[in-house]
Chains A and B, each alone.
Chain A
Amino acid sequence: MGNSKLSTVIKKGAEANLYLAEWHDRKVIIKKRLPKKYRPPRLDEQIRTYRTVHEPQLIHGAKQAGVPTPLVYQVNVKEATIIMEFIEGKQVKELLNGQSEKERKHVCTAIGRAIGRLHKNGIIHGDLTTSNMILDPEERIVFVDFGLGEKTDDLEAKAVDLHLMKRALQSTHYRVAQDCFNAVMDGYSSIIGLGDTREVLGKIEEIESRGRYVADRKT
């Protein structure tokens, strides 16, 4: 990993471990996708390589779309490691439940705008949860963890992306989930436009109706 000093594990995720380190006098995050013992080695390598290659591309694409993301400094495909900028700030997950209604609405609308920009540029985040969004000291919402993302203009993919956002709100912020999601969609439509937003919302409904045991499923 070059001149980096591996210091502390800051997150032992399911998909990768995150280390906080110093690299050329910069505070960086080293994201390392460790082999998973439970998967067959070939499948494991495929998954880790694919995600290591694609994540920086999507991070870059997001930046071009006007969505703040960490700077990527170095990618090592063989080691399945990405060195990127450490983002100061707080996870939206930690903030949301303690915020006032107004603050919450403000943050969620900004999230929605960012998602709108991503989708407008054919970028699907793939894991829109509030732990993957960081409110930095400049009040920007920085999107991280594009490991499950993809590049596509497919309506279905956009709808699934937003469906996951909604689900994440429901499981982690259940008391305010609906208000939050409405604000997200407000922000989203301000970028995408009302017509396209309506189309995406229709698709979300369709996806949800495919789910198991949905009370209002039409059969």
Chain B
Amino acid sequence: MRKTRIDKGRGYCLGIESTADDFGMGVSTPKGEILANIRNTYVPTEGGIHPRDAARHHADVAANVLEETFTKSCVKPQDLSTIAFSQGPGLGPCLRTGATVARALASYLNIPLVGVNHCIAHIEIGKLKTGAEDPITLYVSGGNTMVTAFDAGRYRVFGETLDIALGNCLDVFAREAGLRQKPGLPFGAVVEALAAKGHRLVSLPYCVKGMDISLSGLLTAAVNLLKQGKYALGDLCYSLQETTFSMVTEITERALAHTGKKQVLLTGGVAANKRLQSMIKSISEEHDARFCAVPSEFAIDNGAMIAWTGVLAHDCGMTTPVEKSSVKPRWRLEKVEVRWVTQNSQP
């Protein structure tokens, strides 16, 4: 890998993440040592994430998060060589807030800006933290549900949801059930705790279409059952988890069987779920692949993953001039040419 010349600083990259409800900043050294990973999460008082409210939250906390990032990492602004930011995909207003902060910092410090694809950043930090080289990745969060693997210069999507994301499905169900999330205790964790008390499997539509899945019909069915009041909430949470997790596990196994890769990376907010981890571990073992669970701090949306991917991209000479730095709310990961991964890492 040819190193691009570092004009200023010590090669450190500051990454800014703001695709949805998390506003995060992280600092990575050129070798991928994460010096800080600070996050502040917007928790709506009711309902789901309102993009404008979330963006306002991000703008409010940005200065504090930045200060905390510098303090925690013991990095001075002049040590930074690049500013990376989540350019998409995500919620427009939230992305724009992060991008604005990034542009301001880059222009003030007069260092390059690197626009990073959020989904790719999840995979890259996962590889960094688990040592996976060429994994099948199951990325499951509130906004994304996909199975991807690297092939011929890009991350390719092998399977994904045809409608809503897995985390979204769990969140909506939890809200319909009148559950509350708290800072540090997202809906997913609340559902997981309730599911642990359930044991009766209530039949829900199991919808695998090739390597894709569909969750919206299942969610409707689950909410209808909830409103009938015939079933214990624990049993419904248990059934919801078992059925949806079985679906994503099945498509992950399909991709694994199809590509013959030797590592399986589980990441995204839903990756924190122990039951899902055990399912993915089971299929990994079945196919003699190594199961790589990304540590929770780096599996949920975070600034460190953006910083590290910024380092990788910048090393390959990829920077984003300000005039091309507008956000891309619907930026699919296979659109990105991934120059820092070489095909010879293939098994």
Contacts and interface: CB of A to CB of B under 8 A. Distances in A.
Interface of A: 11-15, 36-40, 42-43, 46-47, 126-129, 131, 148, 160, 164, 167-168, 170-171, 174, 207, 210-215, 217
Contact of B332 (A14, A148, A171, A213): A213
B210 interface: yes
A212 B201 contact: no
A40 B279 CA distance: 10
Contacts of B331: 213, 215
B254 A167 contact: no
A213 B201 CA distance: 33
Contact of A217 (B210, B286, B330): B330
B196 interface: no
A160 B245 CA distance: 22
A46 B205 CA distance: 12
B231 interface: no
Q: How large is the interface on B (under 10, 10 to 19, 20 to 34, 35 or more residues)?
A: 35 or more
Nearest to A41: B201
B250 interface: yes
B250 A15 contact: yes
B295 interface: no
A215 B242 contact: no
A167 B148 CA distance: 13
Nearest to A168: B210
Interface of B: 88-89, 143-146, 151-152, 156-158, 160-163, 165, 201, 203, 206, 208-212, 242-243, 245-246, 249-251, 253-254, 256-258, 278-280, 282-283, 286-287, 329-332
A47 B208 CA distance: 11
Contact of B283 (A38, A126, A131, A212): A38
Contacts of B88: 213
Nearest to B280: A38
B257 A164 contact: no
Nearest to A165: B210
Contacts of A15: 250, 254
B246 A212 contact: no
B254 A164 contact: no
Contacts of B212: 164, 167
A12 to B, nearest CB: 7
Contacts of B143: 212
B94 to A, nearest CB: 14
A37 B258 contact: no
Contacts of A148: 208-210
A42 B210 contact: no
Contact of A211 (B158, B160, B253, B280): B160
Given A126-B210, A171-B157, A213-B331, A38 B152 contact: no
B161 A126 contact: no
Contacts of A164: 209-212
B282 A38 contact: yes
Candidate in A12, A127, A171, A212 with the most chain B CB atoms within 10 angstroms: A212
A167 B330 contact: no
Contacts of B210: 126-129, 148, 164, 167-168
Given A38-B249, A171-B157, A43 B256 contact: no
A36 B156 CA distance: 26
Contacts of B282: 36-38
B208 A38 contact: no
A217 B257 CA distance: 32
A115 B332 CA distance: 29
Contacts of B250: 14-15, 36
User: Of residues A47, A171, A211, A217, which shows the largest number of chain B Cβ atoms within 10 Å of its Cβ?
Assistant: A171
Contacts of A40: 201, 242, 246
Given A14-B250, A15-B250, A167-B212, A43 B242 contact: yes
Contact of B165 (A39, A128, A212): A212
A213 B332 CA distance: 6
B165 A12 contact: no
A207 B163 CA distance: 9
Contacts of A207: 162
B300 to A, nearest CB: 18
A48 to B, nearest CB: 12
Contacts of B151: 171
A215 B243 contact: no
Contacts of A127: 210
B17 to A, nearest CB: 17
A37 B242 CA distance: 12
B246 A38 contact: yes
